[in-house]
Amino acid sequence: MVTTTTSPIQHLWTLTSPLPPAVLRSCRRCHRERPFDSSGKFRLNANGRRLDAWLIYRCRRCGATWNLPVEDRVRPRDLAPAVLRGYQSTCPTLASQVARRRSLLERFGRLEAPQEVEIAVSGAVEGRCDVVIDNAGQVRWRLDRVVAHALGTTRSEVGRLAAGGQLAVLGEVRTAKALRRSVQHRQRLAFR
């Protein structure tokens, strides 16, 4: 007698944030740590044959500006022509790409967790299935918050699913602990 085991259905959840992350910095006007949002505008300065470029950020509370260094003393010919044109014309697409570079932003302050996250779900979670979470944009949300948002339930209900063995974080020994951490790119969940 041959028994066949069916593999669980695989779903993909894609996380995206509609807005770039805000940088938490000390505001020179407010005299407190405040979130600074990208204005979507660049500032350029040429010194001889070298070029500096900054992305302008504004304090959410008072509007004070801060310039995020993007390029420092580069020769214009060392930049891709499209990038140089983007800096000169304040291209919104380029500004959004620069404002989403976490490695660049984290050098100048902590990043505020996004309040809005869009989760594209490839199918309904019913019965036995596996879910792969695509978090290429490195959205910093707790895993239980992502699961609750995607399922349309509460975080405490997600905790009950994990405690009852109906939800497992694959590759993790302790699901309850893994649910309290930030979601990782290509993280896998199993619903039973």
Strand order in the sheet with 118-121: 118-121, 9-16, 129-134, 187-191, 167-169
pTM given for the model? 0.75
pLDDT at 84: 96
What kind of architecture, by CATH, is found in domain 9-17+114-191? Roll (3.10)
pLDDT(172) > 80: yes
Reference 56, options 71, 33, 37; nearest CA is 37
pLDDT at 2: 57
pLDDT at 184: 93
**Domain boundaries, given as residue ranges, for the chain:** 9-17+114-191, 23-111
Give the amino acid at 83.
V
Could you count the other beta carbons within 10 Å of the beta carbon of residue 97?
Answer: 13
pLDDT(98) > 80: yes
